[in-house]
Amino acid sequence: MVMFNNNFRTILRIVFVFFMIVMKDIHANSGLPNPSVRPEAQRKTIDIFANTLYWHTSETLDWAFTLTPSQNSLQTAYKTFSFDWDPGFCIGLGYNMEHDQWDTQASYTRFQSKATDHTSGSVTPAFLAARLSLLEPFSTGRASLNIDYNIFDWDLARSFLVSKYLVLRPSIGLRGGWINQTIHSEWTIPNFLVFFFFSASENLKQRFHGGGPKGGLRGKWCFGNIRKHSFSFIGQFEAAYLWGHWSIRDKYIDNLSTVIHVITLDRNFGSFMLHSFMGFGWDCNFNHDRSHFGVKLGYEIEDWFNHCQIFSDASGSQNNDLIFQGLNFGLHFDF
């Protein structure tokens, strides 16, 4: 969360500087077109695009805690997951309409992330199924968290020429899909009942799917042109509100033939999401300006509010954000 706050403050500073540069440019060129004037009519074209993602996942979730004696007290340490950077992709298809600069796009985004952690000593599980076994504390604990992200987007947008250097593209649309999280943990007691090696495993799954409306604004400020090549600064902000359904299941099993199922009542409520992107773009027209090729590279953040709904017996009901942030490298071609 500290990393997210620092990055968010940095993005706000960049937005402010970008806004001041744009306003200065607009007011300094009194001969520029009126903001209500449309760009020149575009041809009917098909737009194909693909993005490579390199994201880092952040989610606060305690999976166990340890107790360590210290003089006349006990020290408690909560164990959480730390994610690495992982690749993903986004592919899409669009259509640029000849009438009034409207365009529409549909895309699919796929991303998977995994975090692992382990501990030893006097280990107590955080989730209810293992706690109900009444065998804690365990001697060792190992856990992994897998996130499977599959999201579909559709939007309808219209471009506005604010100045000869700045184009704004407000959009509305729909977003939907599913995000599944699976926590697999293993627990052991080497000298349980003297010579018996005790082992247990727990699988906890949170499945989310939902859909709803979204809206956003994309800005593109061209700061340089070389013949048919243009270079620009790109900023985008989107918000979505999805009606979501959460299904949570917890299963524990050990080598004493103990099986425990914990079924949490399904939850249905709105899921709020914010997405922002900032970066640079390069565009090139060819084939007598009938075709267009573009490249973008930037940093983005996507925050799913209150997405983690897993109940932890260590710290109670969770309402933590699920955050994805990292690099986005994209290619698009329209013809």
Residue 21 has pLDDT above 60, yes or no: no
Three-state secondary structure along 250-288?
EEEEECCCCEEEEEEEEEEEEEEEEEEEEEEEEEEEECC
Instruction: Kindly report the pTM of this predicted structure.
Output: 0.83
The 10s digit of each residue's pLDDT in 249-301 is 999 999 999 999 998 889 999 999 999 999 999 999 887 667 789 999 999 99
Tokens coding 139: 């001697």
CA separation for the pair 56, 101 (Å, rounded):
36
Average pLDDT value for residue range 149-168:
94
Here the contacts of 257-262 (C-beta below 8 Å, separation 24 or greater) are: 258/133, 258/200, 260/129, 260/130, 260/132, 260/133, 261/129, 262/127, 262/128, 262/129, 262/132
pLDDT score, position 84: 93
pLDDT score, position 28: 38
For the chain, which residues make up each domain, given as ranges? 2-334
pLDDT score, position 2: 47
pLDDT score, position 151: 98
What is the DSSP secondary structure assignment for residue 28, as one 8-state letter? H
CA separation for the pair 275, 264 (Å, rounded):
30
Higher per-residue confidence, 104 vs 164: 104
β-bridge mates for residue 69, sequence order: 74
Q: Which of 110, 95, 122 is nearest to 53 (CA)?
A: 110
CB contact at 8 A, 189 and 136: no
CA separation for the pair 31, 312 (Å, rounded):
63
**Residue 34: pLDDT band by 50, 70, 90 thresholds?**
very low
Transcribe 53-102 into DSSP letters. Answer: EEEEEE---EEEEEEEEETTEEEEEEEE----EEEEEEEEEEEE-SSTTE
The 10s digit of each residue's pLDDT in 193-210 is 778 899 999 999 999 999
β-bridge mates for residue 48, sequence order: 93, 333
Residues 6+ positions from 289 with CB-CB distance below 8 Å: 228
Torsion of CA 300, 305, 309, 311, to 10 degrees: 100
Instruction: Kindly state the percentage of the chain with pLDDT values over 90.
Output: 62
Instruction: Kindly state the percentage of the chain with pLDDT values over 70.
Output: 85
The CA-to-CA distance between both ends of the chain, in Å, stands at 43
Residue 40 has pLDDT above 70, yes or no: no
Residue indicated by tokens 């013809």: 335
Name the architecture of domain 2-334: Beta Barrel (2.40)
